Amino acid sequence: MTPTRDMVLQALEQLELPGGGTLGSRDLVRALSLEDGAIRFVIEASSPDEARALSSVRAAAEQILRGLPGVRSVSAVLTAHAPGGAQARPAQAAPAGEPPALKIGRHPTGQAGPQPVAGVKRILAIASGKGGVGKSTVSSNLAVALARQGRRVGLLDADIYGPSQPRMMGVNKRPASPDGKTIIPLQAHGVTMMSIGLMLKEDEAVIWRGPMLMGALQQMLGQVAWGELDVLVVDLPPGTGDVQLTLCQRTSLSGAIVVSTPQDVALLDARKALKMFETLKTPVLGLIENMSTYICPNCGHEAHIFGHGGVEEEARKLGLPFLGAIPLSLDVRLAGDAGTPVAAGDGPIADAYGALAARLVQGGMA
């Protein structure tokens, strides 16, 4: 017998939360998925303080669910809305009695099961609906920020059509392969990294089709000597193509994070990416707004060049966690172009990435 959604929610009712109530009565469960006895869900706190107060709840919830008949595995992550300030809005609970807005699919695809990567505890895919919204920038900065917090972090640049991590992380050495099979990844800013860009000859055009892409991606995941990692951050290509499909179907992803700018057109594309993850049954762990607000370095005036708050609003509508907003800043681009992500230094943007990384660590996502 495999557990049903009702059985899971009912079992969770046994758990008294610090501060009173249950996960159900406080409407904290999001993105619950059940598949062949594997249970995954997100506990979404309304603030980092609430998440701190609930830090013991995740493990306790997992333990209760492991006791249900037919359960093969349980994975819960704890996340929180962005902290207060100009970008924050109070968390809005779904209307009482309504199920949480589930944004992950529940339909089996009949594909061979996703496989873990040896030694790697969690795999986070960073995705976007369209190019140029800063997905690669967010991936490298998040990887560096997580490493600064003591996590063992890998960064895989799977953006096969436009690999930008060698430039952003400041590496350009071709990785060694002592036995002609195992690929030795490179190290930069405390992160173990690998990019398809490092395997290509300069100006070699990557005009590959589906099967070749799949082979390259599998090689990067399976043949790279990643070592023991707490989290592997995967920088996906933009959109919804073969690489995303392969990764979601063949690899045990902890989940995906979708990056968008607040513009309507970017959000429209972000929705397509979210739909894809729903179809592929990959949990979406949250949304990040990049290029959110611009503060003039000369006069301190705050401008909303691409609009503002749209991603948080979208996350709220979809019942998905909003993980945070990164401002538009010349420093971000200059640092990325110079090969040292801004998160490796000090200042407000490094702090914003630090907060984002801390939220992921706290939630068991990294």
Ligand X SMILES: Nc1ncnc2c1ncn2[C@@H]1O[C@H](COP(=O)(O)OP(=O)(O)OP(=O)(O)O)[C@@H](O)[C@H]1O
Residues making contact with ligand X (CB under 6 A): 128, 131-137, 159, 162, 164, 238, 290-291, 326, 328-329, 332-333, 336
> In whole angstroms, how close is the CB of 323 to ligand X at the nearest point?
14
Q: Which is nearer to ligand X, 35 or 331 (CB)?
A: 331
> In whole angstroms, how close is the CB of 349 to ligand X at the nearest point?
7
Q: Is 132 annotated as a binding residue?
A: yes
Q: Is 128 annotated as a binding residue?
A: no
> In whole angstroms, how close is the CB of 203 to ligand X at the nearest point?
17
Q: Which is nearer to ligand X, 154 or 336 (CB)?
A: 336
Q: Which is nearer to ligand X, 44 or 269 (CB)?
A: 269
CA angle 52, 58, 60 (to 5 degrees): 120
Q: Which is nearer to ligand X, 137 or 192 (CB)?
A: 137
Q: Is 136 annotated as a binding residue?
A: yes
Q: Is 275 annotated as a binding residue?
A: no
> In whole angstroms, how close is the CB of 235 to ligand X at the nearest point?
7
Q: Within 10 A of 253 (CB to CB), how many other CB atoms are there?
A: 23
Q: Which is nearer to ligand X, 52 or 333 (CB)?
A: 333
Q: Are 289 and 312 in contact (CB under 8 A)?
A: yes
133 torsion bin: left (phi>0), alpha (psi -120 to 50), beta (else): alpha
Q: Are 80 and 359 in contact (CB under 8 A)?
A: yes
Q: Within 10 A of 347 (CB to CB), how many other CB atoms are there?
A: 12
Q: Is 131 annotated as a binding residue?
A: yes
Which stretches of 157-282 are DSSP H helices? 165-169, 196-199, 210-222, 242-250, 264-280
Query: Where does residue 219 rank: exposed (0-12), middle (13-18), buried (19+ CB within 10 A)?
Result: middle
> In whole angstroms, how close is the CB of 270 to ligand X at the nearest point?
11
Phi then psi for residue 152, to 5 deg, are -90, 110
Q: Is 135 annotated as a binding residue?
A: yes
Token digits of residue 191: 């992160």
Residues in the chain: 366
Of all residues in this chain, which one has the CB nearest to ligand X in the complex?
131
Q: Are 285 and 365 in contact (CB under 8 A)?
A: yes
| Annotation: binding site for ATP | 129-136
